[in-house]
Chain A
Amino acid sequence: MQFKFKKIAEGIWEAPPTTKEGMRVPARIYATDELFKEMDQGVFEQVTNVACLPGIQKYALCMPDGHWGYGFPIGGVAAMDTATGVISPGGIGFDINCGMRLLRSNLTEAEVKPKLRELVDRLFSAVPCGVGTKGFWKLNQDEFREVMVQGAQSVIRRGYGWPEDAERIENAGRIPGADPTKVSAKATSRGIHQLGTLGSGNHYLEIQVVYPGNIYDPELAAAMGIDREFQVVVMFHCGSRGFGHQVGTDYLEIFADAMKRYGITVRDKELACAPYASREGQDYFKAMVCAANSAFANRQVITHRIREVFSDVFKRDARDLGLDMIYDVTHNIAKIERYRVDGEEKELLIHRKGATRSFPPGHPELAERYRSTGQPVIIGGSMETGSYLLIGTTKAMEESFGSTAHGSGRTMSRAAAKKKVHGRDLLQRLEHKGIYVRAASFAGVAEEAGMAYKDIGAVVDAVDRLGISKKVVRLQPIGNIKG
Chain B
Amino acid sequence: MSYWYLEEVATADVAFEAEGRTLPEVFEASALALAEVMVDLDGLSSALPHHISLTAEDLETLLFRWLAELIYLKDSVCLLFGRFEITIREGTEWALEATAWGDRIDYEKMSLKLDVKAVTYHMFLLEQTADGWRARVVLDI
Contacts and interface: CB of A to CB of B under 8 A. Distances in A.
Contact of B122 (A268, A443, A447): A268
A186 B72 contact: yes
A199 B14 CA distance: 16
Interface in B40-81: 61, 64-65, 68, 71-72, 74-76, 78, 80
Interface string A63-100: 00001111100100000000000000010011100000
Contact of B141 (A90, A133, A200, A242): A200
Contacts of B115: 130-132, 199-201, 483
B131 interface: no
Interface in B105-141: 105, 107, 111-115, 117-124, 138, 140-141
Given A201-B115, A441-B114, A270 B121 contact: yes
B13 A412 contact: no
Contacts of B38: 131
Contacts of B12: 67, 69, 74, 201-202, 410, 414
B121 A252 contact: yes
Contacts of A270: 120-122, 124
Interface residues of B, number: 41
Contacts of A440: 107, 112
A228 interface: no
A269 B75 contact: no
B76 A444 contact: no
Interface residues of A, number: 52
A275 interface: no
Contact of B13 (A69, A186, A245): A69
A444 B11 contact: no
B29 interface: no
Nearest to A93: B140
User: Which of A42, A70, A71, A413 has the most chain B CB atoms inside 10 A of its CB?
Assistant: A70
Interface stretch (B1-9, B17-25, B84-92): B1-9
Nearest to A241: B75
Given A189-B76, A441-B112, A131 B122 contact: no
A130 B118 contact: no
B10 A131 contact: no
B39 interface: yes
A131 B13 contact: no
A281 interface: no
User: Which of A242, A249, A441 has the most chain B CB atoms inside 10 A of its CB?
Assistant: A249
Contact of A415 (B7, B71, B117): B7
A443 B113 contact: yes
Contacts of B105: 131-133
Contact of B10 (A68, A93, A133, A186): A68
A413 B141 contact: no
Contacts of A186: 72, 76
B7 A201 contact: no
B101 to A, nearest CB: 17
Contacts of A444: 113-114
B140 A95 contact: yes
A136 B63 CA distance: 34
A249 B119 contact: yes
14 contacts: A40-B8, A130-B115, A131-B38, A131-B105, A190-B72, A199-B115, A200-B115, A242-B72, A242-B76, A249-B72, A268-B122, A413-B11, A414-B13, A415-B14
Per CB-CB distance, the 5 closest pairs between chain A and chain B, nearest first, are A70-B122, A200-B115, A242-B75, A269-B121, A94-B118
Interface of B: 5-14, 38-39, 61, 64-65, 68, 71-72, 74-76, 78, 80, 105, 107, 111-115, 117-124, 138, 140-141
